Amino acid sequence: MTDPVFVQAREFAAAFLDGMRRQDLALMVRAGEGDDFPEVITAAALLEGLGARNAHQEQALRAYADAEFWDEDLPGGPLALHDKGAMARNVLAGREPHYNCE
């Protein structure tokens, strides 16, 4: 599998196995022959979770970095006036940046 998450998970797991002095298993993992190893599966799950969280953070940062977000000439004022940090609070709470509980 060439999924970027699994590529990273393999390297992480192989480094762990190297540290455990199991170079034989590390070589198998690096060759893509150990995707069913618990070390690879755990690393992939961890990396997927981190990737999702990072994507939410990036989405919020891109919105905050957009000049239109701060444009005072928009009808009703800048979007930042209405947001009041809600996107940041949503992302920090593990939700989508534009999450609305109403």
Note the pLDDT tens digit of each residue in 24-83. Answer: 999 999 999 999 999 999 999 999 999 988 988 999 999 899 999 899 888 888 888 889
pLDDT exceeds 90 at position 21: yes
Q: How far apart are CA 102 and CA 85, in angstroms?
A: 17
Which amino acid is it at 73? Answer: D
Q: How far apart are CA 68 and CA 80, in angstroms?
A: 9
What's phi and psi for 85, nearest 5 deg?
85, 10
Mean pLDDT across 95-102: 77
Write down the domain spans for the chain. Answer: 4-92
CB 49 within 8 A of CB 80: no
Total-model pTM? 0.68
Q: How far apart are CA 29 and CA 9, in angstroms?
A: 9
